[in-house]
Structure 1
């Protein structure tokens, strides 16, 4: 392990890395239930489950061995909803088996990203983002994942009057999540190894005790193995590409592919920046060594996922939970990948983990990532200040990492030009700026 991942060099241990990998997996495990639920509206849900677990394991293993970073990958939320609802049930609703067309677009996206990885395009993007914006992105992701955690546990709920509001203290999910947050904070305060992971399991067990006592009745918290394994369902989703339709509808197909490309590109850039900053992996210039391998893992995972039968595979911001638990190397990712494989035969166990148990981990890690705001120089260049600020506020409010980066970059470039500092804008940042402008034009056109 020392030879492969060098944990000692990264000031960690094998034990810490394994615990961190378990923590990352538990905070990501919800995707094994959510992805089949979303994509199951247009394709075989059991096949999607198997495809998601396999593609996640493959991509995370590549991350472990090629990049040696503690980042887990799986089917991206938002991208799967776009796949199912916007593409399959919307734009392609009149087509036969529209999921085959969407999978083809994801496959092409993955191939394009593999090519871009060799040309180091995405690597140049991440290293060209100004340091202040990187800190803003990290802090914004912190608020974003805290918001996700609070939603999952119904601490924050939809509200007609104010859009969002506080949940009800009569809701046991909310109460258990808040108790879990306190438990994690206490364990971390006393430097208990694996405090975040222990907190997740402890609150799950408490929930099961309350259910056994007849107090908790919202959902079944105990694993259900009665349905058995349905691994053969992968035949309903694997290798179902439709290049014939793509060739005969090239403009529409390219538009769909570009949408997948855009969201995946900037979601991954934002996630990698945030997780790397939290783990202390950025060098003194704010760059991430071996970032090309990180993006290659993402690209290969997406390509394999499309062949197996799932939507775009991307780096998961929940990896921050593993980093908070001490993960610093690919051994954390390796552990997470192994657990994705184990989930194929123990899926009822992992799918039984409730949101109120994993939500406290996301809320706590959100606080840790928000600490990057202390590194932002708000009294310096106006472009840096406003760009970082917009990254922080737009990610949670627009519910999108990519949108937060879009507002940050556009504001940064415009203010640089207006303050007569256009020479500070690198060619790569100009390219990114133009990509975002094209994205806004596309969005306006879609609303017409």
Structure 2
């Protein structure tokens, strides 16, 4: 097993990778509950949707472990699920079966593009400054999510979109205390600091009665029969539905690209030219997972930014992903006990990870504004639009445009023109509702 995952080359161990996998799982286990809750707005049964969510995560993360051998967890994307539920189904009036067909078609197209080498070629076209900006932007995005989960940041009013939360709430105080403990453990270089922090906060919530004890320890998973293989491909192959497929395709492409480079940069997996060796493997896993997700009855699947939590615990190989896949499989039967972790517990983990991912900002060139501005735009739009795809596409467009108007058009890789064009279609089809 050690030789299969090449522990020696990555200077890691079973214990380190196991802790990393457990940390990643508990940081993103919310998806087991949240994804079905969002898709319920599209009329998809919650029980079946929960089973589909878990099975998709097991399939994609296991494939990532044994084929791509990367420490990345795969699960249905947040954002894409809301787009399908609230825009495609509720606003545009399509059935969820037709919406799932869009996911299936985009997955097939991504698989063909990956096997044909197109996605890898496009990835190689992205300049290093943008790749590092993905890491910084995603890190700050995670920190913002974490502060919101902790109750420190709350929704404000139109003239002040966010505000300070209620710091007098016991839940917020416990979460802040957990963040302090987590940071102290990190300062002391304690292995598993993030996981220990999550466990302590959850325990405090249970002891104080702020979170309900699980009604059972083991339960049979709900049947997936109502949604399994229930897709309407003919209904999706219409001109009017083309915009939905195009939006799904571009959203998945930019989310995966940004997350993949952001996490790889933090894990030290990029080579001297800021490229990820064998990038086609995690990309193919992403594509096949999306196909599997649509057939199982859930939305676009891909690499999760919460994988950064495990990376910060030392996860560098596919064994981390293997542990995550195993825990998701257990969640099919142990969901009552594995889903008691409150947002107040994993919020501090996201804030901590965001701090670590900020380190990539030191690799930006602050003297070349044609490089700095696209990177800056990527970072701030990821955060302030609450959308990773918006920030990344803005970076592609602005980089290409600035190089063109400043007489440096020859420095633009041909692939960047394609990415800029794809990014423009993203804004053309984007649901501005």
Give the whole-Å Cα distance in 2 for the aligned partners of 1:7 and 1:71.
16
Give the whole-Å Cα distance in 2 for the aligned partners of 1:358 and 1:330.
23
Q: TM-score, normalised by structure 2?
A: 0.97
| Structure 1 counterpart of 2:48 | 47
Contact conserved, 1:382 with 1:415, CA < 8 A, in 2?
no
1:262 maps to which of 250, 261, 274: 250
| Structure 1 counterpart of 2:129 | 132
Contact conserved, 2:138 with 2:388, CA < 8 A, in 1?
yes
Give, in angstroms, the shift of residue 371 of structure 1.
1.2
1:105 maps to which of 98, 102, 107: 102
| Structure 1 counterpart of 2:197 | 199
Secondary structure of 1:314 counterpart: strand
Give, in angstroms, the shift of residue 244 of structure 1.
3.1
1:271 maps to which of 259, 265, 277: 259
What is the CA deviation profile of residues 232-289 of structure 1, one whole-angstrom value per residue up to 9, with x for unaligned ones? 2x00110101123234xx1122221111111111001010111000000000000001
Q: For 1:78-89, what aligned pairs fall within 5 Å after superposition? A: 78-89=79-90
Give the whole-Å Cα distance in 2 for the aligned partners of 1:122 and 1:189.
40
Give the whole-Å Cα distance in 2 for the aligned partners of 1:138 and 1:243.
36
Q: TM-score, normalised by structure 1?
A: 0.94
| Structure 2 counterpart of 1:436 | 423
Contact conserved, 1:176 with 1:203, CA < 8 A, in 2?
yes
| Structure 2 counterpart of 1:115 | 112
| Structure 1 counterpart of 2:153 | 156
Q: For 1:315-354, what aligned pairs fall within 5 Å after superposition? A: 315-354=303-342
Runs of 5+ consecutive residues of structure 1 not aligned to the other structure = none
Secondary structure of 2:365 counterpart: coil
Give, in angstroms, the shift of residue 111 of structure 1.
0.6
| Structure 1 counterpart of 2:382 | 395
What is the CA deviation profile of residues 19-73 of structure 1, one whole-angstrom value per residue up to 9, with x for unaligned ones? 1001001111000000110112211110000001001110011111111110001
Give the whole-Å Cα distance in 2 for the aligned partners of 1:137 and 1:256.
25
Give, in angstroms, the shift of residue 172 of structure 1.
2.4
| Structure 1 counterpart of 2:172 | 174
Contact conserved, 2:221 with 2:332, CA < 8 A, in 1?
no
Assess, with a 3 A threshold, how the Cα gap between structure 1 residues 263 and 447 changes in structure 2: closer, same or farther: closer
Contact conserved, 1:106 with 1:312, CA < 8 A, in 2?
yes
Aligned length: 431
| Structure 2 counterpart of 1:222 | 213
What is the CA deviation profile of residues 297-338 of structure 1, one whole-angstrom value per residue up to 9, with x for unaligned ones? 111111011111101101100000000000000000110011
Secondary structure of 1:326 counterpart: coil
Q: Is 1:237 paired with 2:194?
A: no
Give the whole-Å Cα distance in 2 for the aligned partners of 1:350 and 1:124.
40
Give the whole-Å Cα distance in 2 for the aligned partners of 1:118 and 1:227.
41
Secondary structure of 1:148 counterpart: helix
Q: Is 1:33 paired with 2:36?
A: no
Give, in angstroms, the shift of residue 2 of structure 1.
1.1
Contact conserved, 1:416 with 1:425, CA < 8 A, in 2?
yes
Give the whole-Å Cα distance in 2 for the aligned partners of 1:294 and 1:230.
29
| Structure 1 counterpart of 2:295 | 307
What is the CA deviation profile of residues 190-218 of structure 1, one whole-angstrom value per residue up to 9, with x for unaligned ones? 1211111111111111111222xxxx3xx
Contact conserved, 2:218 with 2:335, CA < 8 A, in 1?
no
Give, in angstroms, the shift of residue 230 of structure 1.
3.9
Secondary structure of 1:9 counterpart: helix
